[in-house]
Amino acid sequence: MGTTCLTSAQEDSSVACDGREHQKSVPVRICFMASGGGHFQELCGLAGLAEAYDHILISTELNKAVSETCPFRQIYLIGEVGQGQWKRHPGELLRALWRILRILRRERPRLVISTGAGIAVPGFLAARLLGIRTIYVESYARVESLSLAGKICYRLSDLFLVQHAGLANQLSHAVYVGSLNAYLDADSHGICDHR
């Protein structure tokens, strides 16, 4: 299992996670994705990462925080994709998948990072269809079990991060990061995936 890094869009070359220097071929564009509420607040904790890379944000129309204190520059809002709607209104899930597919095809990110909830599932399905790498960050509130979106995205993600050791011990492919901000600060060379 090799380790690769995505390089910052502002650099001509960067240091890979294994310490070797390499030239970037395409500027890295990241798609950040989260529903409103606590999921969006956790995503806003990644604002420093967003500043270092070319990026977009996909969120939901009812996310009031987007217009108030959003650290992201280019924002796309789609209809609400609550997890409760998946069973009652499967058409909404398909509509969200179609909208996200169109956005990702137009913007061409190399990575999708999501903190959940409902928007992550159609987002990761769209990313998978387009061959875009994904990182899912399970909510800090999930100490002993995965959220519904987490259970689905665990199978769809290239890298699955959890913030509690007990939860990581239950999952063979999860990476325990403790504090998400401390993990990202320690990764000063780029966003590493553990493929």
Any idea what the CATH number is for the domain that residue 116 is in?
Answer: 3.40.50.2000
pLDDT over 60 (residue 73): yes
In a domain, 19, yes or no: no
In a domain, 107, yes or no: yes
Residue 136's closest CA among 14, 29, 76, 125? 125
For residue 158, CA distances in Å to 82, 113, 127, 132, 168 come to: 23, 10, 11, 9, 16
Min mean pLDDT across 9-13, 31-35, 78-82, 178-182 is at 9-13
d(CA 29, CA 107): 8
| Number of domains forming the structure of the chain | 1
In a domain, 38, yes or no: yes
pTM over 0.85: no
Which two tokens mark 175? 């990476």
Show the domain range for 131: 26-193
In a domain, 95, yes or no: yes
What is the chain's alpha carbon radius of gyration, rounded to the nearest angstrom?
Answer: 16
In a domain, 18, yes or no: no
In a domain, 17, yes or no: no
pLDDT at 89: 78
In a domain, 5, yes or no: no
Name the percent of the chain lying above pLDDT 90: 33
In contact, 56 and 77? CB cutoff 8 Å? no
In a domain, 2, yes or no: no
